[in-house]
Amino acid sequence: MAELSAAPTADRTESAVVRPRSRSLTVAAVVEESPDARSLVFEVPEADREMFTYRPGQFLTLRIPSDRTGSVARCYSLASTPHADERLTVTVKRTAQGYGSNWLCDNVRAGSRIEVLAPSGVFTPPDLDVDFLLVAGGSGVTPVFSILKSALALGTGRITLLYANRDEASVIFAGQLRRLAAAHPDRLTVLHWLESVQGIPAREQLRTLVAPYVDRESYICGPAPFMAAVSGALQDAGAPSARVHVEVYTSLETDPFADIVVPTVGEEGSADAVRVVVELEGETHELSWPAEVKLVDLLLSKGIDAPYSCRDGVCGSCQAQVLKGRVRMLSNDVLDDDDLAEGHILGCQSVADPETPGEDLHIRF
């Protein structure tokens, strides 16, 4: 079972440098979705297809030039679906003080090249063949749109999208939503909420709207107050918490594009090390895991291609499950109480429990 607590970090004189798993991709097209939103369509070379395999609802991390810091990293959800769209597409909406969004909207053209990390994120349904309630506010429609298109392409369930915006001009993907609703009248219902007409959606009003759908899998994305209101409305209406899924936005505290310095761990380990069996992509690795070394760092130091992206504990790409033994997590902005109870961990923030030296561990990515 995973626990969240503080633990020391590695302090070793030997180290290895690992290059981040990023690629420079060409922008094939820029699509104006609304007066303040653009979609960037990426061309992925055949050699990198596997690296950019993704699930509906995930995001890409883009490296954006900066005069002050050299570059900044920003995460944008994929609006495309891996089940029907040939190219990766992220949608960027301008924000008043948003350096990254304004730079991308002002400077990127077809033919531009942008450094991009592999897809990440856990806001993705495990089963597309169910009934969905999808709720989006503003640009929060982007991952929801990916889920919607994927469910229409592969699933057989009913889908209701509740989409809130300032006004009609702010509606992203308006034309595509109209066409999808017309093509799937028996499966897709789109409900629009315009603040210019109806005001800011309140929890009490939303309760009435979501009440008919409490037995569905609900996916919610948008501004934090909006997501809180929708989650509260679903709770009031009796929706099981396990069926309510909320996208979490967290700013990156480190540069995920920087070279990674990982500790060099000896083959025999130290007195406080545990033996760990790691299952990853069909292969099994047996390693000695010193208590103060993070799991992803351990794997990278051994030349094992561990999954990771942010390395801050906020994206979920390094999620794994402890099948035997115990670990401690230094930080967690992704996993909920149910995940922790089932032994799920974030590999980039997990260290072996120093209180149980000699105990064998078994972890599966």
Q: Which residues of 54-89 are buried (b: 16+ CB within 10 A; e: fewer)?
A: bbbbbbbbbbbeeeeeeebbbbbbbbbbbbebeebb
d(CA 364, CA 50): 21
Determine the 3-state secondary structure of 223 from DSSP. coil
The reply to whether 142 and 238 lie within a common domain is yes
pLDDT by residue for the chain (365 residues), tens digit each?
343 333 334 444 456 677 767 999 999 999 999 999 999 999 999 999 999 999 999 999 999 999 888 899 999 999 999 999 999 999 999 998 899 999 999 999 999 999 999 998 889 999 999 999 999 999 999 999 999 999 999 999 999 999 999 999 999 999 999 999 999 999 999 999 999 999 999 999 999 999 999 999 999 999 999 999 999 999 999 999 999 999 987 777 778 888 877 666 655 545 567 889 999 989 999 998 887 889 998 998 888 988 887 788 888 889 999 999 889 999 888 888 888 999 999 999 999 876 655 568 999 99
Both tokens of 345, joined, read 């961990």
CATH label of the domain that carries residue 337: 3.10.20.30
CA–CA separation, 39 vs 91, rounded Å?
4
Which of 349, 354, 359, 350 lies closest to 291, judged by CA?
Answer: 354
How do residues 101-152 score in pLDDT, each as one tens digit? 999 999 999 999 999 999 988 899 999 999 999 999 999 999 999 999 999 9
Residue 123 inside a domain? The answer is no
What is the number of domains present in the chain?
3
Mark whether 13 and 36 lie in a shared domain. Answer: no
CATH of the domain at 187: 3.40.50.80
Q: How many CA atoms lie within 13 A of 218 on its CB side?
A: 27
pLDDT of 1: 38
Q: Give yes or no: residues 359 and 282 share one domain.
A: yes
pLDDT of residue 12: 42
Structural domain contains residue 124: no
Instruction: Please check whether residue 126 is in contact with residue 56, taking contact to mean a CB–CB distance below 8 angstroms.
Output: no
User: Would you tell me how many other CB atoms lie within 10 Å of the CB of residue 363?
Assistant: 23
Q: Residue 106 belongs to what domain range?
A: 22-117
Residue 68 makes CB contacts below 8 A (sequence gap 6+) with none
Task: In whole angstroms, give the CA distance from residue 289 to residue 294.
Answer: 9
Do residues 250 and 333 touch, judged by C-beta distance below 8 A? yes
Q: Residue 79's closest CA among 18, 132, 31, 126?
A: 31
Q: Would you say residue 151 lies in a domain?
A: yes
What tokens were used for 24?
């420079």
CA distance 300 to 105: 36
- Does residue 251 fall inside a structural domain? no
Residue 283 CA to residue 292 CA, distance in Å, equals 25
Q: Running DSSP on this structure, what letter comes out for residue 118?
A: P
Whether residues 148 and 211 share a domain: the answer is yes
Backbone angles phi, psi at 53, to 5 degrees: -65, 135
**Are 162 and 209 contacting, i.e. CB atoms less than 8 angstroms apart?**
yes
Do 237 and 290 fall into the same domain? no
Return the SS3 of 51: coil
- Claim to verify: residue 87 and residue 172 sit in the same structural domain: no
Pairing of β 188-194 and β 70-77: unpaired
User: Are 142 and 239 found together in one domain?
Assistant: yes
The answer as to whether 122 is a domain residue is: no
Cα–Cα separations (whole angstroms), residue 289 to 186, 214, 263: 54, 45, 12
Residues 34 and 6 placed together within one structural domain of the fold: no
* Residue 337: predicted pLDDT: 87
Token readout for 354 is 């120093």
Distance of CA 245 to the CA centre of its chain: 12
136 and 84 fall within a common domain: no
Q: Is residue 252 part of a domain?
A: no
Give me the pLDDT at residue 15, please: 64
> Does 183 lie in the same domain as 218?
yes
Residue 42, beta-bridge partner list:
27, 88
> Which residue bears the tokens 């304004």?
102
pLDDT score for 69: 82
Given 93, 117, 141, the domain boundary residue is 117
Query: Cα–Cα distance between 91 and 101 in angstroms, integer?
Result: 10
301 occurs within a structural domain:
yes
Specify whether 153 is located in the same domain as 232.
Answer: yes
Distance CA(140)–CA(119), nearest Å, equals 17
The verdict on residue 253 lying in a domain is no
- Give me the CATH number covering residue 77: 2.40.30.10
- Residues 190, 102, single domain; the answer is no
